[in-house]
Amino acid sequence: MEVVSCLILLCVLVGYADAQLGEKRIDEYSDYWDYQDIRKALNNSDRISWMIYRTYSKDGGGSRHLCVYANVTGIGAVYTFEQGYIVSKGEQNTDGEGTFILRIHTKPINPIQN
């Protein structure tokens, strides 16, 4: 009975999976490449960058974690940054330091030539 239940659950989960072949992400479009300059994004007068897609809400310690940010402390071929978040009570917590190594984005080459 347990084996049958597991198989049914597996079939249901596979049915909910949305894994489409050939899905194209926005960063793969050639007309979007000009907007992916991380140097331009991080090298501005405001040293703190808010990461919109990394913002999250998580219960903990009686308050909610609302925003995630990175404070750029070193600029060059390697960016050094301090990452943290702000909680609903206004406290600012630092998660630690990290580095971001820049690489040059090159256009993909089609190996199959017609």
Determine the straight-line distance between the first and last CA of the chain, rounded to whole angstroms.
55
Alpha-carbon separation of residue 57 from 63, 69, 77, 89, 114 (angstroms)? 10, 14, 33, 13, 50
> How many whole angstroms separate alpha carbon 72 and alpha carbon 11?
46
- What one-letter code names the amino acid at 45? S
Average pLDDT, the chain: 62
Q: How far apart are CA 25 and CA 21, in angstroms?
A: 12
Query: pLDDT for 48-58, tens place per residue?
Result: 777 666 655 66
SS3 of 97, please? strand
* Most confident of the following: 4-18, 44-58, 96-110: 44-58
Instruction: Give the whole-angstrom CA distance, residue 18 versus residue 63.
Output: 34
Task: Report in angstroms the alpha-carbon separations of 7 from 1, 4, 12, 14, 47.
Answer: 10, 5, 9, 11, 52
Tens digit of pLDDT for each residue in 22-34? 555 556 667 777 7
